[in-house]
Structure 1
Amino acid sequence: MSPTIPVDRGPAAAEPALRFEISSYWHTGGAASGGFVLDNLAKRDAHDLPYVPGRTVKGLVRDACLRAEHWGRLDRGTTDRWFGTSTETTGRTRYETEPGLLGFDDAVLPKEITAVLATREAAHLAAHLYRHIHATSIDARTGHAKDKSLRGTEVVVPLTLRAPIFFPIPGTASSLGDCWPSDLERALSLIRGLGMSRSRGLGRVRVRLEHPDLVRPASEVSP
């Protein structure tokens, strides 16, 4: 068994996190299918509750930061500092790449809701978080549905999720500087969707940063 690598998560009370305010049906499932009815199942945790994997969260945020950097909204090199370098972008071997300063946990339901839905008495309520949608491919020549093109997908209802941010390298949180919260939120404004079929209306989302040092104009503060 490989040794456990310590993770610097900072004080619990001041834990920064991403807040995902999802306003439409969404789906971040894997390759699992639901038999004859559904071709794609939504990702669920051990309590049958929906979540967004930390790897997906990191990919969304990294893509937003790359775009922000490309458009001059972040300083050059910020994305590599926060997320690390890769063999694809540097041409180096994996032993020569640099780790990132930011890490992201799974985006999950608030602890209060999870605590209720995870109980045996309320477990049946989790089923109400999911819906089934179907789509088919239309033949442009005939205007009819193509044979065997019907696909069923399990989607999740609009929810608000929270993904804690941590610092993978112990003792390096201070290396981010004082401006990283405002810099990160500037990039987060570029995220408009998550999961599959974003171009077809699924996964509409607004991502905000929760951080004790982040100050917003009064007009942007939620009641």
Structure 2
Amino acid sequence: MAELSAELIIEILTPWHLGSGREGGAYADSLVSRDHSGLPLVNGKSIKGLLRAACTESMQLQWLEQLTQADLDKLFGKEGTDLASQGALEVSSATLSEGEQAYFAQHPQAVKLLYRIDYNTAIDHATGAAADGSLRSMEAVVPMTLTAKLRIHAEAKESELFLNWLKLSLPLITAVGGKRRRGYGEAVFSLNRETK
């Protein structure tokens, strides 16, 4: 068994929202996910889901020769709680670079500049005005570049094949987070293999 490592770079081009499931009271109806320092992140589980969806679409489009559902299950895992069901791919959360994290640790007042509040309302079609009680506020993160670590635990030849399938499927991922159909979270994904 070998371990192959790569760096996943996510260039997020528009404001984005990856919900934390928490409300912010008067500040915002929906807050974004943050790390322990209050900095934005894209959790590894979400990234793995995006990668799986892209590889599944690649398989359905017959872009990747010899890719089967069994291969997808081996790479990404399947339902179950045993070790075999976890899959060969391990994905960390995507975060700002170490230098950027150090900057915000030294300048904590600047962290608030990474966030903004967007407002939405429903229109009453009869009057053309905002519908009563429909104003909603959502916290969004400004565009930025985040990186995550990928590790593939498989035989060397199989790991290389899995990494190549991931790389070839990346163009199918065009956005991250919620409200993607409204232009939020447009992103470009790229993958760099790490050398030891």
1:207 has 2:194 as partner = no
CA distance in structure 1 between the aligned counterparts of 2:150 and 2:109, rounded to whole angstroms: 31
1:25 has 2:25 as partner = no
CA distance in structure 1 between the aligned counterparts of 2:14 and 2:38, rounded to whole angstroms: 20
- Secondary structure at 2:26 match in 1: coil
Structure 2, unmatched stretches of 5+, are none
Counterpart in the other structure of 2:115: 130
Alignment deviations for residues 45-69 of structure 1 (CA, whole Å, 9 cap, x no partner)? 1111100111111111111111111
Tell me the TM-score normalized by structure 2.
0.89
1:194 to 154, 176, 179: 176
**Distance of aligned partners of 1:182 and 1:166 in 2 relative to their CA distance in 1, 3 Å threshold:** closer
The alpha carbon displacement at 1:146 in A equals 1.0
**Distance of aligned partners of 1:49 and 1:76 in 2 relative to their CA distance in 1, 3 Å threshold:** same
Structure 1, unmatched stretches of 5+, are 1-7, 88-93, 214-223
1:118 to 100, 105, 108: 105
Tell me the TM-score normalized by structure 1.
0.79
Aligned length: 191
- Secondary structure at 2:176 match in 1: coil
Counterpart in the other structure of 1:49: 39
CA distance in structure 1 between the aligned counterparts of 2:82 and 2:164, rounded to whole angstroms: 32
Query: Is the 2:96–2:147 Cα contact (8 Å) retained in structure 1?
Result: yes
CA distance in structure 1 between the aligned counterparts of 2:58 and 2:188, rounded to whole angstroms: 16
> RCO higher in 1 or 2 (8 Å CA, sep ≥ 6)?
2
1:39 has 2:29 as partner = yes
- Secondary structure at 1:38 match in 2: coil
1:141 to 107, 118, 126: 126
Alignment deviations for residues 151-194 of structure 1 (CA, whole Å, 9 cap, x no partner)? 10110000000010123x5xx25252433333211111100111
**Distance of aligned partners of 1:211 and 1:23 in 2 relative to their CA distance in 1, 3 Å threshold:** same
Query: Is the 1:105–1:165 Cα contact (8 Å) retained in structure 2?
Result: yes
The alpha carbon displacement at 1:97 in A equals 6.2
CA distance in structure 2 between the aligned counterparts of 1:31 and 1:178, rounded to whole angstroms: 37
**Distance of aligned partners of 1:24 and 1:139 in 2 relative to their CA distance in 1, 3 Å threshold:** same
Written as runs of structure 1 = structure 2, the 5 A alignment for 1:56-205 is 56-74=46-64, 75-77=67-69, 78-86=71-79, 98-119=85-106, 122-167=107-152, 169=153, 172=154, 174=156, 176-205=158-187
Task: Report the more deviating stretch, 176-185 or 62-71.
Answer: 176-185
Query: Is the 1:102–1:166 Cα contact (8 Å) retained in structure 2?
Result: yes
CA distance in structure 1 between the aligned counterparts of 2:52 and 2:100, rounded to whole angstroms: 29
The alpha carbon displacement at 1:33 in A equals 1.1
More strand by percentage: 2
Root-mean-square deviation (CA, aligned residues, Å) is 2.1
